[in-house]
Amino acid sequence: MVKCYAASLGNCSDTQSREHCIPKALWSVPKINVEGFSWTHKNTEPLPVKNLASKILCTTHNSALSYLDAECQRLFQTVETFHAKQLARGNLPRSSLWKVDRADFEGTILERIFIKIAICIAQHEKDLRWAGTNSEAIDPPKEVINALFGKCPLVSPMGLYFAMSVGELVTNEESVRIQTIRHPNTECFVGAFIAIRDWQWLINLSDTEFSHYTARSMSGQQIGKDGTPPDYHLETVNFAAKGKLSGQINIDWDRVDH
């Protein structure tokens, strides 16, 4: 039988597809550093990219989401390019002039990209259940699925947060670091901390404020409860060099597609 976490939407095809948690086109190498799953350990050998794939969508629902994979790839390619330029411009004389690089993204699309990654991460953890519905990993809450397929955006405090702390260095290393965030009483899945190429994001898939939970950033800083609040619906990411703007990513949250 075809396994599909979007089965509640109906219309599943009878063909199983294989889903990569993070689009494999993001990586230039066959193995990446993966940390944070209950089955991975710190400082182990890089894992083959294919280990982060599983059979959790039918072909119909997988192809309905292929646009998100393309945008995910564009996002991280942009980040990589802007970061490389920022480093190069940092070595230029202070008087150098340049044209600021700019790129635009749609906020709800980015949010959907991280919902998709979080659902996939949930499938890789044993016996995980969703907060709110207490359903199995393969059966996410209806509002999460509706948001993923662009039917109805998540409502705050659910949604995407940016979780970089001041002073944290980005190396763009080919890596994925995740933490599943669990409800303090029930251990149910409420969301995930996801760092791709060192860029750190939080996706909250429960209606409880993130300030009740704790995650730790890559440099060990506490995020959420008793720590730095992450930025909800971040609108700009600036890349500076020599005290001047080198690149800017703008994220538009106003365009809501129903």
- Residues forming contacts to Zn ion in the complex (CB under 5 A) are 4, 6, 12, 58, 61
Q: What is the smallest separation between the CB atom of 23 and Zn ion, expressed in angstroms? A: 19
Q: What is the smallest separation between the CB atom of 137 and Zn ion, expressed in angstroms? A: 16
User: By C-beta, is 6 or 158 nearer to Zn ion?
Assistant: 6
Q: What is the smallest separation between the CB atom of 138 and Zn ion, expressed in angstroms? A: 11
User: By C-beta, is 12 or 117 nearer to Zn ion?
Assistant: 12
Q: What is the smallest separation between the CB atom of 91 and Zn ion, expressed in angstroms? A: 50
Q: What is the smallest separation between the CB atom of 11 and Zn ion, expressed in angstroms? A: 7
Residue 141 CA to residue 135 CA, distance in Å, equals: 8
Residue 243 CA to residue 94 CA, distance in Å, equals: 9
User: By C-beta, is 6 or 215 nearer to Zn ion?
Assistant: 6
User: By C-beta, is 19 or 198 nearer to Zn ion?
Assistant: 19
User: By C-beta, is 58 or 249 nearer to Zn ion?
Assistant: 58
